[in-house]
Amino acid sequence: MQNTDEKKMQIAALVAVDGVSEEEIASYIMLPPDNSLGDYALPCFRLAKTLRKSPQAIAEELKAAVLSRPNPFSAVEAVNGYLNFKFDRTASAGKLLSEVLEKGSGYGSGDEGEGKTVCIDYSSINIAKPFHIGHLSSTVIGAALYRMYLKRGYKPVGINHLGDWGTQFGKLIVAYKKWGNDEDIEREGVLALTKIYVRFHEEAETHPELEDEARAWFKRIEDGDPEAMRLYKLFKEKTLAEVGKVYDRLGIKFDSYNGEAFYNDKMAPILERLESQNLITVSDGAKIVDLKEWGMSPCLLVKADGATLYATRDLAAAFYRKKTYDFYKSLYVVAYQQNLHFKQLFKVIELMGESWYKDMVHVPFGMVSLEDGTMSTRKGKVVWLKDVLDRAVEKAGEIIREKNEKLADAASVAEQVGVGSVVFFALSNNRIKDIVFSYDKVLNFDGETAPYVQYTNARAQSLLKKAGGIASLKETPLSEEELKTLEGREGEELVALLSRFGETVADALAKYEPSVVTRYVIDVARSFNRYYLAHRIINAPEKERRAGIALTYAVHVVLEEGLRLIGVRAPEEM
């Protein structure tokens, strides 16, 4: 199916204005806000200066010219200085429905990514620290981009760049030796680690010698001392087992868990190269790359005591990824607080003369907080993602039971709706915005929410079941006469919207913005509900019935697939 850009070019070629390129005309063409006016519109005031005529006169002339040539339009109209184009609706509907029937969930796929590998660094949690609601965005944005890349033919590589190295592990060992034990860790998991870690910081205020002990223990980890390693591994295992459960609920997998520690032996050659390229400056004993010229603070790579840093590891990781995956793009889905870090990182790689610095992209996002402000870590009141999911599932269960007492498998549906509502919410807005989470908002069945879309999809599926499925549609294609019955405002709007699924996914990728797809599935659900209110489907007269069912099927396919892409499951019944 042609996408919007191709259609714009097709129109521009037919319009042909002397002295204005087709590309330029195509760039003026827009989608009218109300599609009863047409599918595309050319605002002629953009041409008034070149042609020295009024926009309406230009529109009239261009209309005559277009209609004098063979064209794919069912109507061309000049209204208020706009030239409006309507494509043949029956043909568009026929194309859409036959394609969806043929491809099923493969509808909307693309191949523009063929042969292109995209590394996505996302979630990237820290060991021995809670998986709190702050990690939600990175996790769900990264996973959504991953699925969308796959759908458009790319080869994504999902990387969980674990925060599994640093002096905090020395502190944890000291804390563990003083106040911790294996039973607590067995029982409470990461929570037990967080508790003793917090205690370490409290006690270190009055007993600064604890910091020296911590440094000594971290040194023992670095030296591979067996006891230090046993504890280090224990902390890592426990954390991964716990976050693994959350990832399972979210349906998320990673191709690599190579975290910071993985790069321990990979920094030296890069530091040597930086030295030989004269990019290193020594400042108070520390090795830095001076970035003053670009208005940035220096990138600190080796401290005076010889310790490497977060940035050193990221530098090694960037080179490792280039060498291992030969990426087309390498994304970092990380909060905007790290804007400077990534700007510095990319600049250093540019200064090293690597042209692929241009292919590295920081995909930043805003903060998620809870309505009552409980997000604040300073008060020690961290909100655990697992608890948020549990509470959302519990509330979803209550609502579902109220709505449908007889629902089979209500527990599984509650899990799908509850978890789905949290994910959907995190992907509803432009990612850079700070957002405030509330259970009532994300679970509002009439709002712009997962349950609203899930419910609409379940309704479509129940209609299809009542209609006896789509076998007859697959056997006998819809006739021209049947397709014509979809004409009218609601049907046409739905056809136009559903036809744009694939390009919507591509657009989301171009902007690294999964919310484009979230907004889109809301629009499809709304549009279908309008259609459903205005038209009979099952009980429609025979000649309308099949077209209505085919359209319902297309809605179901696009909703289910759209939800899948953003990481939300679609229960068959609700």
Q: In 3D, which of 446, 432, 428 has the Cα closest to residue 519? A: 428
- Residue 163 as a binder of ligand ARG (CB under 6 A): the answer is yes
Closest among 241, 219, 237 to 228, alpha carbons compared: 219
Please report how close the Cβ of residue 293 comes to ligand ARG at its closest, in angstroms.
Answer: 24
The CA-based diameter of the chain, rounded to the nearest angstrom, is 89
82, 85, 197, 332: which one contacts ligand ARG (CB under 6 A)?
332
Task: Using the structure block, give the residue that is written with the tokens 């994300």.
Answer: 442
Number of CB atoms found within 10 A of residue 8's CB: 22
> Please, are residues 84 and 77 in contact by the beta-carbon 8 Å criterion?
yes
Cα–Cα distances (Å) from 422 to 138, 416, 530, in that order, read: 13, 10, 26
Task: State the pairing for strand pair 360-363/329-333.
Answer: parallel
Interacting stretch for ligand ARG, rule CB under 6 A, among 58-66, 118-126, 248-256, 449-457? 118-126
**Smallest distance, ligand ARG to C-beta of residue 250, A:** 17
Quick check: 314 binds ligand ARG (CB under 6 A)?
yes
Q: How far is the CB of 120 from ligand ARG (least distance, A)?
A: 11
By CB under 6 A, how many residues form the interface with ligand ARG?
9
Q: Which of residues 163 and 420 has its CB atom nearest to ligand ARG in the complex? A: 163
Residue 346 sits in the site that holds ligand ARG (CB under 6 A): no
Nearer to ligand ARG, 361 or 399 (CB): 361
Name the segment binding ligand ARG (CB under 6 A); options: 121-129, 366-374, 532-540, 559-567.
121-129
Provide, rounded to whole angstroms, the least separation between the CB of residue 161 and ligand ARG: 4
Q: Out of 10, 84, 92, 124, which residue is the one contacting ligand ARG (CB under 6 A)?
A: 124
Read off the tokens for 127.
């060991």
Among 161, 220, 500, 569, binds ligand ARG (CB under 6 A): 161
**Segment interacting with ligand ARG (CB under 6 A) among 11-19, 82-90, 120-128, 418-426:** 120-128
* φ, ψ dihedrals at 84, nearest 5°: -100, 135
Closest CA to 502 of 483, 487, 516: 516
Shortest separation between residue 571's beta carbon and ligand ARG, angstroms? 33
Beta-ladder partners of 158: 120
Determine the Cα–Cα distance for residues 470 and 553; give it in Å rounded to an integer.
8
What is the DSSP track for 97-121? HHHHHHHGGGTT---TTTT-EEEEE
Separation in Å, CA 91 to CA 476, 487, 494: 17, 11, 14
Provide, rounded to whole angstroms, the least separation between the CB of residue 341 and ligand ARG. Answer: 7
Give least dist CB 157 to ligand ARG, A: 13
Under the criterion CB under 6 A, does residue 334 sit at the interface with ligand ARG? yes
- The whole-angstrom separation of Cα 160 and Cα 260 is 10
Q: At what angle do helices 168-179 and 209-222 cross, to 10 degrees?
A: 110
Check binding of 164 to ligand ARG (CB under 6 A). Answer: no
Closest CB to ligand ARG among 63 and 431?
A: 431
3-state secondary structure 513-552: CCHHHHHHHHHHHHHHHHHHHHCCCCCCCHHHHHHHHHHH
Chain centroid to Cα 484, Å, comes to 37
At its nearest, how many Å lie between ligand ARG and the CB of residue 47?
A: 49
Exactly one of 2, 56, 126, 404 binds ligand ARG (CB under 6 A); which one? 126
For residues 39 and 121, which CB has a smaller minimum distance to ligand ARG in the complex?
121
Between residues 163 and 170, which has the closer beta carbon with respect to ligand ARG?
163
At residue 291, the 3 state secondary structure works out as coil
- What is d(CA 66, CA 184) in angstroms, rounded to the nearest whole number? 78
Q: Which stretch binds ligand ARG (CB under 6 A): 38-46, 119-127, 148-156, 479-487?
A: 119-127
Site map (CB under 6 A) of ligand ARG, residues 239-258, x = contact = --------------------
Q: How far is the CB of 422 from ligand ARG (least distance, A)?
A: 19
Are 491 and 497 spatial neighbours (Cβ–Cβ below 8 Å)?
no
Determine, following the binding rule CB under 6 A, whether residue 121 of this chain makes contact with ligand ARG.
Answer: yes
In the chain the first and final C-alpha atoms are separated, in Å, by 33
Task: Give the three-class secondary structure for 474.
Answer: helix
Query: What x/- string results for residues 7 through 46 when contact with ligand ARG is judged by CB under 6 A?
Result: ----------------------------------------
536 in Cβ contact with 422 (< 8 Å) = no
Question: Smaller CB distance to ligand ARG: residue 126 or 404?
Answer: 126
Minimum gap (Å) between residue 312 Cβ and ligand ARG: 11
* Residue 209 structure tokens: 């010698």
Nearer to ligand ARG, 38 or 163 (CB): 163
Q: Measured from the CB of residue 371, what is the shortest distance to ligand ARG in angstroms?
A: 24
The smaller minimum CB distance to ligand ARG, of residues 124 and 344, is found at 124
Instruction: Compute the CA torsion angle 280, 285, 290, 292 (nearest 10 deg).
Output: -160
By CB neighbour count within 10 A (0-12 exposed, 13-18 middle, 19+ buried), where does 411 fall?
A: exposed
Nearer to ligand ARG, 314 or 544 (CB): 314
Closer of 218 and 332 to ligand ARG (Cβ): 332
The DSSP code for 34 is S
> In angstroms, what is the minimal distance from the CB of 30 to ligand ARG?
39
Q: Give min distance, CB of 365 to ligand ARG, in A.
A: 12
In terms of CB distance, is 316 or 496 closer to ligand ARG?
316
Q: Which residues form the interface with ligand ARG (CB under 6 A)?
A: 121, 124, 126, 161, 163, 314, 317, 332, 334
